[in-house]
Structure 1
Amino acid sequence: MTYLEKWFDFNRRQKEIESLLEETVAQQSEQSLTLKEFYLLYYLDLAQEKSLRQIDLPDKLHLSPSAVSRMVARLEAKNCGLLSRRCCDQDRRSSFICLTSDGQTTLATLQKAVEERLETGLNFLI
């Protein structure tokens, strides 16, 4: 198998796993979250004080700033209480996106389901 063929095979398997995870997150969350929204909650949970400046999120999520803005706005519009927003004291143009206690609870449930799916999905695909 050539390196190019290996690359395409790897890429196909990665997409299959992402599809499994997307399905898992949507099914396991009351809010029908997307995989990218799960990633957002995950990175917020890792951050100091469970919050990050919105301008720091695009690099972590591999999305454009406008896509992150739309994602946060969608989650706020769902009124599900997973996130909160607060102004940055040093720069009033910027805001922090914060993971709430409800967000932490939802994330814990999703992390367990994602870990289980990864365990079975990776064993199946590898």
Structure 2
Amino acid sequence: MTAPTDLEQRWQTLDQEWQTVNRALEHALQQHHNLSVSEYKVLAALEAKPDHHHRMQVLADLAGLSQSATTRLVARLEAQDCGLLARYLCDTDRRGVYTEITPAGLTKLARARATLQHTLEALWTPSTATPHD
């Protein structure tokens, strides 16, 4: 049996840390905002663009999702009871569909971003507690 190489060990360490961070973020975002990490990524990608919209294909790439998964995610966030996103057809290319973040989506993202920040700080900030003697 061959021992893992240094690169493989680095990859495994990185993968374990990513899983730990992703689980913590998923839990915090679901618990406090009823959002998944993927939904957060979509809202953040839309907010980052000055006009707050992207073509669905570009949004899928930015979120790291398939086009069908992105379509389902956007449909959930666009639903009447959610209203965080809106979709519309491109004026110049009727095949193009854009997704835009709504004011409600921007508000939800701002609140979720504070939770994300707090969760990351808790994971990555060294503890200042001193052990008891």
Identify the residue that residue 106 of structure 2 maps to in structure 1. Answer: 104
Identify the residue that residue 81 of structure 2 maps to in structure 1. Answer: 79
Q: What displacement does 1:122 show?
A: 2.1
Q: Secondary structure at the match of 1:63?
A: coil
Unmatched 5+ stretches in structure 2: 127-133
For residues 47-126 of structure 1, the aligned pairs below 5 Å read 47-77=49-79, 79-123=81-125
**Normalising by structure 1, what TM-score?**
0.89
- Stretches of 4+ moved more than 3 A in 1? none
Whole-Å Cα distance in 2 between the matches of residues 7 and 122 of structure 1? 19
Which has the larger helix fraction?
Answer: 1
RMSD: 1.5
Whole-Å Cα distance in 2 between the matches of residues 35 and 96 of structure 1? 21
| Cα distance, 1:26–1:93 mapped onto 2, change above 3 Å | same
Q: What displacement does 1:81 show?
A: 1.2
Whole-Å Cα distance in 1 between the matches of residues 69 and 12 of structure 2? 27
**Alignment: residue pair count:** 122
Whole-Å Cα distance in 2 between the matches of residues 117 and 91 of structure 1? 41
Whole-Å Cα distance in 1 between the matches of residues 39 and 9 of structure 2? 32
Report 1 or 2 for greater relative contact order, CA contacts < 8 Å, sequence distance ≥ 6. Answer: 1
Unmatched 5+ stretches in structure 1: none
**Normalising by structure 2, what TM-score?**
0.85
Larger radius of gyration: 2
Q: Secondary structure at the match of 1:52?
A: strand
Among 2, 6, 14, the alignment partner of 1:2 is 6
Matched, 1:26 2:30: yes
Q: What displacement does 1:40 show?
A: 0.3
